[in-house]
């Protein structure tokens, strides 16, 4: 059979940076300290293409993805990111003409959590991972990995709370009682979606549960599937005792990381992104930042 992909291009002589598959869904089995997790992951994988080839042999991508991912049904992998790294390395093996391979994956992830022990249930999060493999002139392969997660929580607005306090003080003079000075008052609050991603060197690792915990602590409050009446009150109260702008979510999240991940080197870069689906507007507000652990440590000093 004619190998059309290996032929020279009809027109133009360009190296193409990225050719691959996207939106491919696969079941992936991950074993962690807390047990086995069955994920459904979405993958995107690509390699570059030299100028003398018409096409990239994409069926190899589907084959190797199947091999690496299907194998986890019997031999679970350690993490979504570990699967991405294996795939990225193998892409360079099977595409000998390529110099770069990139893999991105996301997968829903359930954790049993609850406002109290007896009200635990599965809460859903998103795991995020990337791996970029690059072949050097001497054939050695370098790897860059990104690991992270997204968590949905709640933010309450600190500005509207102060404006409402002033208005309520006008309407209700009894509120001026000194014992009510720190009374949490009404504000708008809403669903908030926050991502945190670590660009990791070498053998550095982060535990996704710690990533999720860090995000939830930076929001005004985590949210829960099961909330009986009293719990609901406590969650609302907690959120209004920690009112946060999206700016606060990003700042509190990032500035707390050196303490949570003391072993990560200064060269680790983190990206935080948060979006509040405002209850008082039809649009969202958001904030994002990218910074190294070194800068974070210096800014805290």
**Scanning residues 192 to 231, which ones bind its own copies (CB under 8 A)?**
221, 223-230
Identified binder of its own copies from the candidate list 147, 197, 211, 235, rule CB under 8 A:
235
Minimum CB separation of residue 298 from its own copies in Å reads 10
Size of the site for its own copies (CB under 8 A): 120
Minimum CB separation of residue 151 from its own copies in Å reads 9
CA distance 267 to 36: 32
38 binds its own copies (CB under 8 A): yes
CA distance 240 to 185: 7
DSSP codes of every residue in 62-108: HHHHHHHHHGGGTS-BS-HHHHHHHHHHHHHHH-TT-SEEEEEEEEE
Cβ proximity to its own copies, 205 vs 292, nearer residue: 292
Whether 198 and 206 have beta carbons less than 8 Å apart is answered as: yes
Cβ proximity to its own copies, 23 vs 137, nearer residue: 23
Long-range contacts of 34-38 (CB under 8 A, 24+ apart): 34/209, 36/76, 37/109, 37/110
Interaction with its own copies in 57-86: which residues (CB under 8 A)? 58-59, 62-63, 65-66, 69-70
Q: First and final CA of the chain: distance in angstroms?
A: 66
Cβ proximity to its own copies, 50 vs 207, nearer residue: 50
CA distance 215 to 300: 19
Identified binder of its own copies from the candidate list 252, 266, 269, 297, rule CB under 8 A:
252
32 binds its own copies (CB under 8 A): no
Identified binder of its own copies from the candidate list 34, 74, 117, 166, rule CB under 8 A:
166
Q: Is 266 helix (H, G, I), strand (E, B) or coil?
A: coil
294 binds its own copies (CB under 8 A): no
Interaction with its own copies in 110-149: which residues (CB under 8 A)? 110, 112, 119, 121-124
Please report the sign of the dihedral spanned by the C-alpha atoms of residue 288, residue 291, residue 293, residue 297: negative
At 238, list the tokens.
């907690």
Residues in the chain: 301
Minimum CB separation of residue 28 from its own copies in Å reads 10
Minimum CB separation of residue 145 from its own copies in Å reads 21
Minimum CB separation of residue 104 from its own copies in Å reads 12
Longest distance between any two alpha carbons in the chain, whole Å: 88
Minimum CB separation of residue 87 from its own copies in Å reads 14
Cβ proximity to its own copies, 138 vs 176, nearer residue: 176
Q: Which range of residues in 14-22, 77-85, 87-95, 141-149 is near its own copies by CB under 8 A?
A: 14-22
Q: Is 169 helix (H, G, I), strand (E, B) or coil?
A: helix
At residue 32, φ and ψ (nearest 5 deg) are: -125, 180
Q: Which range of residues in 74-82, 130-138, 199-207, 276-284 is near its own copies by CB under 8 A?
A: 276-284
At 235, list the tokens.
């969650």
């Amino acid at each position: 059979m004619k190998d059309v992909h290996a032929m020279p291009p009809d027109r133009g002589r360009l190296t193409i940076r990225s050719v691959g598959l996207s939106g491919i869904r696969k079941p992936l089995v991950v074993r962690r300290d807390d047990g086995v997790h069955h994920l459904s992951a979405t993958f995107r994988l690509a390699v570059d293409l030299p100028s003398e080839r018409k096409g990239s042999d994409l069926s190899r991508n589907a084959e190797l993805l199947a091999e690496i991912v299907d194998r986890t049904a019997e031999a679970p992998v350690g993490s979504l990111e570990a699967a991405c790294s294996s795939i990225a390395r193998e892409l360079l093996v099977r595409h000998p003409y390529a110099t770069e391979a990139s893999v991105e994956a996301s997968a829903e992830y359930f954790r049993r959590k609850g406002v109290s022990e007896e009200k635990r249930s599965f809460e859903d999060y998103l795991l995020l991972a990337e791996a970029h493999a690059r072949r050097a002139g001497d054939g050695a392969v370098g790897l860059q990995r990104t690991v992270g997660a997204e968590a949905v929580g709640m933010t309450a607005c600190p500005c509207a709370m102060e404006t409402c306090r002033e208005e309520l003080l006008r309407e209700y003079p009894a509120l001026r009682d000194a014992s009510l000075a720190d009374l949490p008052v009404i504000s708008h609050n809403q669903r908030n979606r926050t991502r945190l991603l670590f660009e990791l060197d070498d053998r550095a690792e982060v535990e996704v549960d710690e990533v999720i915990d860090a995000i939830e602590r930076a929001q005004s409050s985590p949210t829960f599937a099961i909330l009986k009446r009293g719990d609901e009150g406590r969650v609302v109260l907690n959120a209004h005792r920690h009112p946060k702008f999206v700016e606060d979510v990003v700042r509190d999240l990032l500035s707390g990381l050196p303490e949570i991940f003391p072993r990560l080197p200064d060269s680790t870069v983190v990206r935080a992104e948060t979006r509040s689906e405002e209850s008082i507007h039809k649009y969202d507000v958001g904030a994002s930042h990218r910074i190294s652990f070194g800068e974070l440590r210096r800014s805290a000093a």
